[in-house]
Amino acid sequence: MCAATTPRGETHHVYHDGDGRLSDTLRDAVADLTDTAPADLPPLETRINVDALDALWNTEAPDRSAAGCLTFTYGGYVVVVRSTGAVLLREATAAE
């Protein structure tokens, strides 16, 4: 996983390199951005089916989706997961 630090309101880019679970990469990225321990974040399972997320965007799977994305909110961020392994995070507004 790698993350870029950007000013508030900008999009943070993380790439899941296939090492481990995508959901762990996502959780770790939100923890880093919020300066919170991953265990102190709300359970990701309350926002999305974690097993489905990991299976759907398994970047190492030979039959993975060629294109697609999934958007949801988690830990105060709007999360966009792309089938390429890219994870984009942007602080959620009150309306999101």
pLDDT tens profile 29-84: 999 999 999 999 999 999 999 998 887 666 566 665 567 788 999 999 999 988 77
Stated pTM of the model: 0.78
Cite the beta strand spans of the chain per DSSP E.
Answer: 12-15, 69-74, 77-82, 86-91
Question: Is 6 a member of any domain?
Answer: no
Q: Which residue has the higher pLDDT, 2 or 18?
A: 18
* pLDDT of res. 23: 92
Question: Is 79 a member of any domain?
Answer: yes
Q: Mean pLDDT, to the nearest integer, of 14-21?
A: 83
* pLDDT of res. 82: 84
Range of the domain at 29: 12-91
What is the rounded distance in angstroms from the CA atom of residue 58 to the CA atom of residue 40? 26
Total domains in the fold of the chain: 1
Question: Is 64 a member of any domain?
Answer: yes
